[in-house]
């Protein structure tokens, strides 16, 4: 039995919205999302069909990195519009594969049965002009307060970057903890930006490296903070 609570937009929940709640059967038993995961970060990762090659590669990469996500206080939940028995069979098959020269891996995260498409609907993943499930290729990063913080969708022909999902989590945790911003192509350990302030307009109250040696300017409106 599956229950999903819709979102106020009747579409994709937007950044800052509460993550739609649902209860469903999974390969780890019944789960109640997001409440079962408390004050942890959560990644809801969806796909349209089991046994597809692109999705298989993604789920294996998630499994090889699941300990890295756990170290970041992140719980992984995968949703598929296939049924539970098919999930179980696919999981068992994936756990026997030698992928890219690595030993077989045990999949610790749950695969959720969304055959009814209730979760896909609650998260706005069914395209209104397309009756198929091919658009169920979303990633939702949800913070400890159960707010949606990042959203991405990929076409079914192109594999998602699990490294980029991890980078996004680290970036969000960094900006939350330090009240900073991250620039384009930022990687963990790189310098960050300090928030822009209108009171710092050109010629007035400008923050300079003389005020704080950890700061340096590219322009009066673009001030970096050294990571070390």
pLDDT the model gives residue 204: 43
Whether 139 and 61 share a structural domain: yes
Q: Cα separation of 218 and 187, whole Å? A: 19
Whether 131 and 184 share a structural domain: no
Whether 66 and 146 share a structural domain: yes
170 lies in some domain: no
Q: Which residues pair with 46 in a beta bridge?
A: 79
Whether 147 and 204 share a structural domain: no
127 lies in some domain: yes
pLDDT the model gives residue 1: 43
Whether 140 and 43 have beta carbons less than 8 Å apart is answered as yes
Is position 55 annotated as part of the catalytic site? yes
Q: How many domains does the chain have?
A: 2
Whether 150 and 195 share a structural domain: no
Beta-strand relationship, 22-26 and 3-4: antiparallel
Domain-terminating residue out of 132, 160, 188: 160
Q: What is the CA radius of gyration of the chain?
A: 20
Q: What is the number of other CB atoms lying within 10 angstroms of the CB of residue 78?
A: 24
Whether 39 and 94 share a structural domain: yes
Domain span including residue 211: 179-228
pLDDT the model gives residue 212: 86
Q: Which residues of the chain have pLDDT under 50?
A: 1, 203-205
pTM: 0.90
Beta-strand relationship, 192-193 and 222-225: antiparallel
Whether 96 and 198 share a structural domain: no
Question: For position 153, which CATH number holds?
Answer: 3.40.30.10
Catalytic residue from among 43, 55, 105, 125? 55
Place of tokens 């079914």: 156
CA end-to-end span of the chain, whole Å? 51
Q: Cα separation of 191 and 180, whole Å? A: 10
pLDDT the model gives residue 127: 67
Whether 152 and 106 share a structural domain: yes
């Amino acid at each position: 039995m599956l229950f999903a609570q819709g979102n106020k937009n009747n579409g994709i929940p937007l950044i800052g919205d509460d993550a739609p709640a649902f209860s469903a059967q999974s390969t780890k038993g019944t789960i109640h999302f997001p409440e079962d995961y408390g004050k942890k970060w959560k990644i809801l990762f969806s796909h349209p069909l089991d046994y597809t090659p692109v999705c298989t590669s993604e789920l294996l990469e998630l499994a090889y990195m699941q300990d890295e996500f756990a170290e970041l206080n992140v719980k992984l939940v995968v949703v598929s519009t296939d049924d539970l028995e098919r999930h179980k069979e696919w999981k068992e098959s994936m756990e026997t594969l030698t992928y890219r020269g690595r030993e077989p891996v045990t999949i610790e995260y749950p695969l959720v049965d969304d055959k009814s498409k209730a979760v896909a609907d609650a998260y706005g993943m069914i395209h209104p002009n397309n009756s198929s499930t091919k658009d169920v290729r979303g990633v939702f990063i949800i913070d400890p307060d159960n707010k949606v913080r990042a959203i991405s969708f990929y076409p079914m022909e192109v594999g998602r970057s699990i490294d980029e999902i991890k980078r996004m989590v680290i970036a969000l945790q960094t900006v939350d903890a330090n009240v900073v911003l991250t620039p384009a192509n930022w990687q963990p350990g790189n310098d960050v930006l300090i928030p822009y302030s209108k009171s710092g307009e050109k010629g007035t109250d400008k923050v300079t490296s003389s005020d704080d040696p950890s700061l340096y300017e590219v322009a009066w409106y673009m001030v970096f903070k050294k990571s070390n």
